[in-house]
Structure 1
Amino acid sequence: MPYSLLKRALLCLLPLITGCESSMETSSAPFTPTTIKVATFNVSMEAGNYTPRGQQPNPDRLRELLANGDHPQIRNIAEILQRVRPDIVLLNEFDYIADRSRGVDAFRRHYLMVSQQGREPLDYPYAYTAPVNTGVPSPFDIDGDGIASGTGGDAWGYGLYPGQYGMVVLSRYPIDTEQVRQFQTFPWHRMPGAQPILNPDGTPFYDDATWRGLRLSSKSHWDVPINVNGEQIHLLAAHPTPPVFDGPEDRNGARNHDEIRLWADYLNNADYLEDDAGQRGGLAADTRFVIVGDYNASPSEGQSRPGAINQLLNHPRVNASERPRSTGGELHSPDNPNGPYHTAYWRAQVDYVLPSAFGFEPVRSGVFWPVDGLELSRLIADRNASSDHRLVWMELRLTEE
């Protein structure tokens, strides 16, 4: 018997067992079936995307562009969101701006809440953002070039300035910000059986001090609780590093694999996990969750380590039966059987919306990829039009178990 039904049965029997009225709550508010649309979108809203090739990006560039509502790429991002209208969405590669009034709130005010090409404005009363590892200097020579420069490949996560490639959650439903769990600083070496990073001769790529100092998350891992009409769901958000841009040691492939594994172990309630506030363990059973993000890993394409994303796709607590697809992606790669499921222009499925098997029923899903030549294809013509990734969405019906 599912835990939720067992709990209700025990509460109903308690007065008979004790011979007196129970002081415990014997009924709860009626369950209200609700359907929500959850999405993930790598929006390429990082300063490097607005910088001429060969120049150093200005860390304040996104802040400047959000101060008014006239930047064409950001307007297109807003239009895509206004067309799909997700209830909850994770935005990857949205530079972290600590002053929300000049960051995520400016995006909402000057772009989302303004009609784009006649579309209905979109209001998200709730948002969450927090610092990430990208661009934050470390004291180590992480990229192995013999120099601990503190930036780029030697930052805690690759980035040319703190906050590059950050994350933002937007929601129509209340976010319990006090209960958010972050794993930004979790040390990689604490993961039992972490992926080995070896030189071609079999020796360790990192010395002991560097290995013990490395953080696992290239950006951060967030468990964001959201209240949907009295029912709590956990949005598990991350953006693992691409498994490329390294050398024969494949350090980024190892990190990508283990960043994905962190969520698999979180679903297994692994005791070794400790968040930034010191709380140990993972996510309790019979809990609704949705894993979202650009995971830079495909089940059948690309250069991620074997089985990296399958740690989530095949997890018993994950329902991966609904696979978002698009006709635009199919026509973009007509000779590739995986084309309909691609979520990036460079032909791979790397962006995911993965609901829990408990408490959700997938209804329908899709990838926003207009067919080339149609009017809306202007929104995804290239990375300067919007992004080299596509928005991925899924409608989910909340169920009692």
Structure 2
Amino acid sequence: MRNWVILALTLMVATMTATTSHAADSTVRIASFNVSMEADNYVAAGATPTGDELFLQLADGRNSQIRNIAEIIQRTRPDILLLNEFDFSPDPERGVLPFLRHYLQRPQRGAEPIDYPFHYSAPVNTGIDSGLDLDRDGVASGRGQDAFGYGLFPGHYGMLLLSRYPLDTAGVRSFQHFLWRDMPGNLLQDIKDAQGDNWYTPEARQRLRLSSKSHWDIPVLIDGQRVHVLASHPTPPVFDGPEDRNGRRNHDEIRFWSDYISGGERAAYIHDDCGLRGGLRGEIFVLLGDLNASPLEGDGLKPAITGLLRHPLINSMALPTSTGGGEHSPGNPHAASHTASFRLRVDYVLPSTDGWQVDAAGVFWPTRDDPLRRLVSDRRTSSDHRLVWLDLVLSAPR
């Protein structure tokens, strides 16, 4: 108990210090940030995005919201960074490369430029027509709630990994097409309408994919060691009805990772988009993303996120906190650990218990008297989420 208290106090002090540089050269700063860089941000009120909106804003480096996002990244300086809600394009010259050239590699209001030589992005399920009437409004629209993942066009609310360290792209495992029905004990079978009948048709239950965006296992080579970055962005457990179809999907998207890192028989049902079966086998990993779930607050089903945080292979003792979050929700005992303006902890950086030592942790949420508070004043300024980071030291190979 005494050691846990010392660790907690150390991390609390670390989150209150400036985040413009790493604690030491030996640390690897790993971060997750839902940047709200999706097309809805760049259209007039009431207009429907086409999918080009983000890429037009990236082209000239002048969009104020994206400049603020870049400044937050420059001031926290992660070595490995997952961005959620960065619209996907298969052409890097439209998406990631303009973001690097016109925003991150240019100084933002005095912040030092930052470069990420390595990056990974891939298709996601958002906006892909399922051919089904999933929301039961009588129309199979192919968009929004009727897509395999909620989105108004393919690639909406995508994901992007940036890294200073080389990626083993040939070793990436994607689970975009993994079927929800293939998870043993899934909650798909529990989704019922008011009459107690299955919400989804038999065809829908056969074809629905588990991941609302995708689940990725991206190997990163850090000083010669292979680390698995596990990235995802489960659906919010809201925007549905009493059937709780989104809440149940969120639960199973998170549960997938618990099974995957367990490996062995528990992960035997898992197969990636190339047909390779099983999960991890004792490898070093770090799990990143906006999981849209809190173990203590909010509308989501708690067993999956609680099970993940209590998993014996995950070190969840290093709780990232901020003083700014506490100011945002005075009187809330969990406020310091919140990672979003809607007063929840939903964004995570979770290292494996083996292979890492935690040096520090924090949430980029400046206090009211901090000049950098201007970067998080509201969602239109940057995002309704905050960047979450951990400083980790990789153990020497055994």
TM-score, length-scaled by structure 2: 0.91
- Are 2:51 and 1:59 equivalent residues in the alignment? yes
Q: Please, which of 210, 216, 229 is the counterpart of residue 235 of structure 1?
A: 229
Deviation at 1:204, TM superposition (A): 1.3
- Summarize deviations over 1:243-262 as a string: whole Å, max 9, x none: 00001100000000000011
The answer to whether the 8 Å contact 2:294/2:302 transfers is no
Partner of 2:8: none
Match of 2:217 in 1: 223
**Greater displacement, 300-309 / 357-366:** 300-309
In the alignment, what sits opposite 1:282?
279
Whether 2:153 is the aligned partner of 1:166: answer no
Q: 1:47 aligns with which of 39, 59, 74?
A: 39
Shift of 1:312: 1.1
Deviation at 1:371, TM superposition (A): 1.0
Task: Give the match for residue 19 of structure 1.
Answer: none
- SS of 2:302 mapped into structure 1: coil
Which of 278, 301, 326 is residue 322 of structure 2 equivalent to? 326
The one-letter code sitting in structure 1 at the alignment partner of 2:161 is V
Query: Structure 2 stretches of 5 or more lacking a match?
Result: 1-24
Look up the match of 2:122. 130
The 8 Å contact of residues 270 and 279 in structure 2, kept in 1 or not, is answered as yes
| 1:221-370 equivalences in 2 (<5 Å) | 221-269=215-263, 270-285=267-282, 287-370=283-366
Shift of residue 199, structure 1, vs aligned partner: 1.7
**Structure 1: runs of 5+ lacking an equivalent:** 1-32
Moved over 4 A (4+): none
Report how far residue 365 of structure 1 moved: 0.5
Q: Which deviates the most, 113-122 or 51-60?
A: 51-60
The residue that corresponds to 1:7 in the other structure is: none
Match of 1:202 in 2: 196
State the 1:373 CA deviation: 4.3
Residue 396 of structure 1: aligned partner: 392
Structure 1 residue 374, shift from structure 2 partner: 2.8
For 2:105, which of 85, 105, 113 is the aligned residue?
Answer: 113
The higher radius of gyration belongs to 1
Measure the CA separation in 2 of the matches of 1:137 and 1:34. Answer: 46
Q: What secondary structure does 2:341 align onto?
A: coil
Partner SS for 2:203 = helix
User: Which residue identity lines up with residue 379 of structure 2 in the other structure?
Assistant: R
Alignment size in residue pairs: 368
2:206 maps to 1:212: yes
Pairwise CA distance, 1:53? 2.1
Residues 81, 161 of structure 2: 8 Å contact kept: yes
User: Secondary structure of the equivalent of 1:203?
Assistant: coil
**1:121 Cα deviation from its structure 2 partner:** 0.6
Structure 2 equivalent of residue 73 of structure 1:
65
DSSP 3-state at the match of 1:111: helix
Change (3 A) 1:99 1:112: same
Tell me which residue corresponds to 1:5: none
- Alpha-carbon RMSD: 1.1
* Separation in 2, partners of 1:183, 1:245: 24
* Greater relative CO, 1 or 2 (CA 8 Å, sep 6+): 2
d(CA) in 1 for partners of 2:201 and 2:307?
Answer: 28
Structure 2 partner of 1:15: none
Which stretch of the first structure deviates more once superposed, 184-193 or 138-147? 138-147
- What SS is found at the alignment partner of 1:396? strand
Q: SS of the counterpart of 1:307?
A: helix
Corresponding position: 1:175 with 2:173: no
